[in-house]
Structure 1
Amino acid sequence: MSALVVGILVLSLVAASAMVAVVTRPVSVLPAASVETIAEPGVPDAVLVSRTLFGASPTAVVVPERTDAASSAAAVELTNRNRVPMFRVAPTTVGAVADELRRLGVQQAVRIGGEVPDLGVPVTDDTGVVAGDAAPNGEGTVVLLSQAGDDAVATAQASGAETVSMPAPDPRVSGEAVRLLKEQPDAPVRAIGPGFGDRAQLVRRIELARTVPELPGGGQLMFPGRRVVALYGSPGAPELGPLGRQSIPASIARIKALAARYDKLSPVPVVPGFEIIVSVASADPGPGGNYTSVLDVAAIRPWVDAARKAGVYVTLDLQPGRTDFLTQAKMFRALLLEPHVGLALDPEWRLKPNQVHLTQIGSVEPAEVNRTSSWLADLVARNNLPQKALVLHQFDADMLGDRLKIDTSRDELAFVIHADGHGVPHVKMSTWNRIVQGLPPRTWLGWKNFFTEDKPMFSPKRTMDVQPHPWFISYQ
């Protein structure tokens, strides 16, 4: 028989995932179309996985809703070794699990970790009844998992499928998911759970996963598959931040070492970053009278190129003075065409007519942010680029106006509200607590540590203890 290649996407947390049907040793395989989303309210992921992958199974592993880590690990190991389904049973899922056990033809279930409700089949503590053949399945299964529970993951693995855990219901969020989709271009795909949206949306995202360049760290979505830790500043200007206090190679080494400290604390990979000020607020009006000094693209290009080779994400920071953000953003279009380059808007340095820096605190209207984000999102879409970070700096309530008027709907961008408060810890936290209230939808949070203005500066651990957790952390 020729190998049947299938791919499956599974999600539990946001309730979604994608899958592909397969042949497993104990069962007959259920037929599969090319791409399909599967969701049913109230039905747990493990049951949906079992329905999709298993035609029959004489035994199954069951565990109570809550049990200790050792018992859970033992149940997963038993499931994988014997290639049978596993179900975590809660009071709200008893009916769905019992129905699936009947469909599978389970004659006896093995219980691990404590008592479970009546499931309509004999239950035993004797793990010997599920002794099975651990030979690998040769049917070429691919399974893409998106934060499903351990029972759903174990059930998928027991079928012989390859698995990758993803933090969101989108195949683009994980480098491993992207790799598997590229390696299996003809594999049917199943999306289990509502988070993946309808079939058309899933098909489009699979196409993007297979064709769009990847970000540093893998995948094509900024968050939540990675966390960015960045040096802030401008080349050759040490007074503006730590990025400009050493050479390009030394800056790369410095931020990689700092990111590594966070990597030990973060549940997702930490990517090193540069936040480069490419237009600098100036005390003098300058030739155009706009109180801003724009760096030459050629001066920034070596930093961007070196960052790409080193796996460093770059954000171009704008301090436009009396110029608008969109006008300045367009000056750096050539750099923004790079897959690993995003954009940051710094409203503190966006002046109204007759305002000057350090006398008034700047601000920007949501309409100007929307014009800039729309242009940037179109740039991403038209040039087959991965999602870009659009970082909006803020420490004062008025700096971004009515934030709910900021349009964050464009999937091409990851919108970050970045808290720039500094000072003693209680002052920083007061600023943070104000900023995290009333956020626009689909926004992520950023945090800045200051080497000199913070007294004391937060350690990586203390930074990661901030709630909600920041996803973009910069150092100035």
Structure 2
Amino acid sequence: MPERVTHPAAGCGRGTLDQRDGAPAGSGFLGAAAMASAAPPRSSPAPTPSTPAPSTSAPPLRLPDGGMSIVPRLRVVAFYGGPDGPGLGVLGAGTPEQAAAAVAAQAAAFAGFGRAVQPAMELLASVAQDTPGPEGTYSRPVTDTQIAEYLAVAHEHRMLLILDIQPGGGEFLPQVQALQPFLLDPDVSVALDPEWKVPPGQAPGNGRIGSSSAASINTVAAYLSGLITAHRLPDKLLIIHQFTTPMLPDRDQITTHPGVEQTLHADGEGTPAGKVAVYHQLAFPTRFHTGFKLFYTQDTRLMSPGEVMALTPRPDIITYQ
């Protein structure tokens, strides 16, 4: 069993609300370990620019429902968490198979609001740490085997797998590039967690809220766009978590890129009124898609799908932690 990843503070995104250390989030589903197929190791060398692109005569790869775009064609409902237990989010509260069943059940509650619903799993692919680690980045990748287990289940259930990056004192781009064998899969997208991005040499968490420059995010979007073009992939989500304005100090400089569906995602926990206020205060620019997070245990009262769909604008992505 891989060593459990530790985290300086469980969870992602506390909004303007308290910075409690994480009470485990979860919906109570537990069970035996799921079997899954292997995937290419994270350490595999990334293709160089001279690597031949797929034949242009071959049909492009497609998303689980057969389409080439995600939002706003679909509304995405996801569970968030790490693979080693519920402390980092509801996704880890059971096996990948059990998580998929729970995601599907929760996603079904959003049917009837004008779009087809696409279930997804937002899996932490790197987790911020309170110690430097061997690379001094205060961030640790989860294993390729763990990612492969969730990806196999996502394939089986026609779900998206969103790989979430908490870079600590490192940069987003190298950690995303390390995932390239997985990102060549049409069902895999990316999320970035500025809360857990701090200056080099500092430990994230412990009341410190990180931030990211637009330049750091733009390099990731450009990289994903290049993969999409070179390998004839369908669109990919690029979810950017935010719950305070200083987390994205030059947000107006974030640029759009072909094939990359950039989504600003409001992450505050607390009362329904407080969460709605944060959503409106963030005033996401219309060139981005929008997201909204719900916490099963940290929220004072869990908002219903109807309450979430009453937001203006209606979120394109709803995540449960």
TM-score, L = length of structure 2: 0.79
Amino acid at match of 1:271: Q
Instruction: Measure, in 2, the Cα distance between the counterparts of 1:463 and 1:217.
Output: 24
Corresponding position of 2:81: 233
Matched, 1:457 2:302: yes
Corresponding position of 1:384: 232
5+ residue gaps, structure 1, are 1-207
User: What are the equivalent positions in structure 2 for 1:4-403 lying under 5 Å apart?
Assistant: 211-263=59-111, 265-359=112-206, 360-403=208-251
**Deviations for 1:229-264, whole angstroms, at most 9, x for unmatched residues?**
00100112210011101111111111111111111x
Corresponding position of 1:418: 265
SS of equivalent to 2:120: strand
Larger radius of gyration: 1
SS of equivalent to 1:211: coil
Instruction: Measure, in 2, the Cα distance between the counterparts of 1:236 and 1:332.
Output: 19
Cα contact 1:420–1:448 (8 A) shared by 2: yes
SS of equivalent to 2:247: coil
Q: What is the Cα deviation at residue 211 of structure 1?
A: 2.9
Q: What is the Cα deviation at residue 285 of structure 1?
A: 1.5
SS of equivalent to 1:228: strand
Instruction: Measure, in 2, the Cα distance between the counterparts of 1:353 and 1:328.
Output: 15
Shift of the 442–212 alpha-carbon distance from structure 1 to 2, 3 Å rule, reads farther
**Deviations for 1:378-415, whole angstroms, at most 9, x for unmatched residues?**
0111011000000000001011221110011x221000
Q: Whose helix fraction is larger, Structure 1's or Structure 2's?
A: 1
Q: What is the Cα deviation at residue 442 of structure 1?
A: 2.7
**Deviations for 1:190-226, whole angstroms, at most 9, x for unmatched residues?**
xxxxxxxxxxxxxxxxxx9x93222123310111110
Instruction: Measure, in 1, the Cα distance between the counterparts of 2:66 and 2:304.
Output: 27
Instruction: Measure, in 1, the Cα distance between the counterparts of 2:109 and 2:66.
Output: 20
Amino acid at match of 1:289: G
Instruction: Measure, in 2, the Cα distance between the counterparts of 1:231 and 1:346.
Output: 15
Cα contact 2:137–2:201 (8 A) shared by 1: no
Give the one of 312, 315, 320 matched to 1:470.
Answer: 315
Q: What is the Cα deviation at residue 434 of structure 1?
A: 1.3
Instruction: Measure, in 2, the Cα distance between the counterparts of 1:237 and 1:280.
Output: 13
Give runs of ≥4 in structure 1 deviating > 4 Å.
Answer: none
5+ residue gaps, structure 2, are 1-55
Cα contact 1:217–1:269 (8 A) shared by 2: no
Instruction: Measure, in 2, the Cα distance between the counterparts of 1:420 and 1:355.
Output: 23
Q: What is the Cα deviation at residue 354 of structure 1?
A: 4.0
Instruction: Measure, in 1, the Cα distance between the counterparts of 2:118 and 2:290.
Output: 16
Instruction: Measure, in 1, the Cα distance between the counterparts of 2:202 and 2:248.
Output: 17
SS of equivalent to 1:426: helix
SS of equivalent to 2:210: coil
Query: In angstroms, what is the RMSD of aligned CA positions?
Result: 1.4
